Amino acid sequence: MKIERETRLRLASGVKRRGGELMNQQMWCWGADIRRAEGNLLAQYGFTKYAAPDSSGTKPCYGLSLPTGTIIGLWGFGMYYGDHSHGGLFLKRFDFAPRMVAPDEMHFNAWTAGDLPAMHPPGTSAQCHQARQLLSLALEWIASYEAWVVQTAGAAYRQATVDAWQTLHKSIAVDAHEMPGAWSLLARQCTGAATTMAAVR
């Protein structure tokens, strides 16, 4: 029997840094979409709010199951994207490195990172290929969501969100009107720049 050596998914440092910057800004924008005075945009998109059963003040999870079989989960600390055809991955807010998790193990009744099922980095060449596919699909979904926000709430709304982020952090990852394109570009870069590295036997 042929035993495959352990592998690891590695993203180019510039891609990983860019992904972390964009994800941090995007998480802020999702939070603003929830707090939007005219109505919760995540709820309008179709997300369901899963609040903690106690009054601990823990922030809720927002989960979405699409007709295509895609499952998306959003927390203040990260994002899950998966389906039963491709598997699933989790991206931490401040660590742009995919972690694999089986779709049938993921659940939305989780309000801290410790509540989530066990995850692991891609460990075989097949898993690395799977992670590249999922990562690209996840980022393309974010791009499509941002385009939907502009169509639904207007470009001025998203610009105001990014302006508020810039006021707080003194910088932005990308201007509001560039967000869909930036996510699509990153999706292509992740597919092309992701490589596997054989580990020591």
pLDDT tens per residue, range 65-114: 988 889 999 999 999 999 877 789 999 888 888 899 887 888 888 888 88
Name the DSSP class of 120: B
Name the DSSP class of 5: P
pLDDT tens per residue, range 114-123: 888 889 998 8
pTM (predicted TM-score): 0.88
User: 196 has which bridge partners?
Assistant: 9
pLDDT tens per residue, range 54-74: 766 678 899 999 888 899 999
Angstrom distance (rounded) from CA 90 to CA 101: 7
Mean of per-residue pLDDT scores for the chain: 86
Q: Is the dihedral of CA 186, 192, 196, 197 positive or negative?
A: negative
